[in-house]
Amino acid sequence: MGRLIACAALALGIAGCGARPAVREAARVRFLVRPPAARIYVEDRFIGAAAVLARRPPSFRPGTRHFTVTAGGYFPHDVEVDLPSGMTTIRLSLRPVPE
């Protein structure tokens, strides 16, 4: 009988330990960039034009990301952001290359 109680306690303990960990919400990034035709890269991978990403923010796992923003006739801009869960807005205006 003692063994039956021990097995029941063990089964209850295992069930309690099997609780699912809290799910972290995705990190979303809204880009508000001038010029709107600027191209945005994350870790050197093209993810879209600024105008499109302003309307449809991409999702990432929370953590540090390196973004590069480029456009013809403008200096490129690099930014490293520690993205938390939820929405982050990145606002920037690229600096034109002097003629």
Using pLDDT thresholds of 50, 70 and 90, give the confidence band for residue 24: confident
- d(C-alpha 19, C-alpha 38), whole Å: 45
Mean pLDDT (whole number) for 39-57: 96
Mean pLDDT (whole number) for 73-82: 97
Q: What is the mean pLDDT of the chain?
A: 85
97 has a pLDDT exceeding 90: yes
- d(C-alpha 24, C-alpha 93), whole Å: 31
Q: What is the pLDDT of residue 18?
A: 55
Edge-to-edge strand ranges of the sheet holding 86-93: 59-60, 27-34, 86-93
Read off the pTM: 0.74
> Could you identify the residue written with the tokens 């920037």?
92
Residue range 26-93, CATH number: 2.60.40.1120
Q: What is the pLDDT of residue 7?
A: 46
Report, in this order, helix, strand and coil percent for the chain, each rounded to 5. 20, 45, 35
Which structure tokens are listed for 21?
A: 């960990």
Q: What is the pLDDT of residue 99?
A: 86
pLDDT in tens, 4-15: 444 444 444 444
Q: Among residues 93, 94, 68, which one has the least CA distance to residue 80?
A: 68
Q: Among residues 54, 57, 61, 67, which one has the least CA distance to residue 85?
A: 61
Q: What is the pLDDT of residue 21?
A: 57
